[in-house]
Amino acid sequence: MSKYSKWFTQLHNEIVATIESLDSPMDERTTPVRDGWLQSHKTIKSNVFEKGTVNFSEVTGEFDSKFAKEIPGTEENNNYYATGTSVILHPMNPHVPAMHFNTRYLKTSTKEWFGGGMDVTPCITDNDYKQSYHAGLKTMCDMFNTTYYDKFSKACDEYFYLPHRKETRGIGGIFFEYHDPSSMQFDYVKAVGKHFNKLIHTTVSKYKDNKYTEEQRQILFYKRGRYVEFNLLYDRGTRFGLKTGGDVDAILMSLPPKVEW
């Protein structure tokens, strides 16, 4: 297990503990083991989180020749190593935003890089929350590099965008990709994970007991439709998982439990 996967395992466990402190024990979903693959999937369907998943993976393999052309650093061969943690939380209460996070490390024949970020998708407008959410991200980013927040926030808005709808998925966050460990501190990647774990607790604690109407639940279902559209049409993680022969059910755990259009 690499130093990266050790951290992602620790982060996975810490986030699971946070979720369980807010709701109920998570269930572990086993994935058929294959050589070079280590995966852990914790899931929840309960009162606070209508559906949620926390995933850890450490995988090795070889890209097929067509997909390898899309991946940096495959000039010498198509082998890869990847490890990371990802989280998707779909709340029961419309006042709690859907929350997404992942951080990862990938290595190919000639390149290695960090990627990841976070974004939240409210279905009820709350400008005060949006402002404090982004202020917290900026403070965290500024501790490492004062250019990070503006750059990664812009990248998030551009990535989590539905061109066929001409709208962003949520209220943004941060997104980064292809950052070599020589140019991005691993401590920054760790800080992103710690910040998200804290964000889960502060956000969900504040809003999970707010009263809501059936009309607001319908708005939630409608907003989830946008989430599905993005994850199935544009999400790189979904594409990577399917192209590398991952467990389809685990890959699609990100999809919400009930959706309307």
Show which residues are catalytic: 100
**Joined tokens for residue 128:** 């005060």
The order of strands in the sheet holding 98-107 is 27-29, 37-44, 49-62, 79-91, 98-107, 112-121, 173-179
Place of tokens 């209220």: 171
How far does the chain reach from its first CA to its final CA, in angstroms?
A: 43
Q: What's the gap between Cα 73 and its chain centre?
A: 24
Contacts of 135 (CB under 8 A, 6+ apart): none
Q: 121 pairs with which residues across the strands?
A: 98
Report the C-alpha gap between 184 and 187 in whole angstroms: 8
Q: 102 pairs with which residues across the strands?
A: 86, 117
Largest CA distance in the chain: 58
Q: Strand 161-162 and strand 173-179: pairing?
A: unpaired
